[in-house]
Structure 1
Amino acid sequence: MLISTNPANVTLPTNFTLHALSKQDIWHPPEVPEGEEYNSPTYYVQYGPMQKFKSARVSICDMVGKMQYDQAGLIFLVNSQGLKDEKYESWFKTGVEIADKNSTAKVMAAATPPGGFSDWGLFPLPSLNTGCIDIEVQREEGGPGVFIYLHDGETKSLTRLVTWAFQKKFDKMLGVGAFVSRHNWAPGDAPFTGEPNYARFEGLMIDWSDWNGATSHYHV
């Protein structure tokens, strides 16, 4: 896991692969305490001032998972105290997810507002030849929302608007990272065992505005 107070001092690998065993997810449903989870492998988390965030983008490639709810993508920890005091109370995530028992992959977005519970939305995938899903998250200019886009060649499709993430009262940190999940497990397997879900991440970009006196970029 990575923390920085100055993005100019950070060097990341050009690509990386994350793995998740069974029963690892990021999810907060109501009235089901045993269903609440924040135990997915989450790496390359970079914390910056909430109101300095501009955008993030990554290509998610060759996810091997075919079980329902297998996922890989980006996670955003909203109005956080930072890694040392992280409580994972408010977040949104987006990426690719297996939506059903027929192994149908779709673009996923889920969000948990402060004091609230997780929602879930799906968007159809385009016909892909590369094996990679290109996701971009862009802050709403002058507003409290954030837009989530899917890039398909020259086409940029809006898949989700999270309306509350950048309210002016949120004055702490934003954590941005990559994750993979495997919510379910095969019959007979104990949790945290069995074959993992994994995916490769390429070209991670996180842009911040006027941080430490200059526009800053994390590009790998």
Structure 2
Amino acid sequence: MRRDSIFYRLFQQSPTLIFELLETSPANATNYRFDSVAVKEPKFEIDGVFLPPDTEDAGVVYFCEVQFQKDEQLYERLFGESFLYFYRNRNRYSNWFVVVIYPTRSIEQSDIEPYRTLLNSPQVKRVYLDELGDIQQLPLGLALMVLTTVEEEQAPEEAQYLVNRTQEEVTEPAVNSAIIEMIKTIRRHRVRGPEPCARESGHGIPAFSAGRVVVQFRNRDLS
């Protein structure tokens, strides 16, 4: 499984997770949904879009790009597609915001000069996962993101730590199971070998029995 797919699965389970990466979040952040959107003529699809509730006044649309491989035309595509979608749906949204997630700065597009003003604007946030801090000191949602970047030999230990932490901090069985299943998925991607062990929950429900649920992580200010 590609790592961007892992992130999009994370965002599907917990749309509010994107706002943990930002200094500010909208008042209705808990009502946002994560989706992919299509644009016609020319036809293309944007995979990572956080949409405000349809029932409220025009809100901010958030575009998210997860990039684990170097792409020397990433910003050409990202801004071109995002702005075209915003233009075609201008009556639905009051503003736009772009989040780009990299494992490290070395993956970023080399020539950013044409986009320097945009990249330095308050409407664009570049996140470098290796600069977020110690995985054991981060909120659980951000720790799952950073787990996708740890070295192969470190992955089993960190995955087991997050499983143990989840079972200690998350008391709702379905949410507990969803998070642990995500940890297992990330670990399988990072290294082969025995998977982290999950204890039976206090409710007598095996830790991996739940289906798809929406997981709410607690936001924190990263400024």
Same fold (TM over 0.5): no
Higher helix content, 1 or 2: 2
Structure 2 length normalisation: TM-score? 0.20
Structure number with bigger Rg: 2
Higher strand content, 1 or 2: 1
Structure 1 length normalisation: TM-score? 0.20
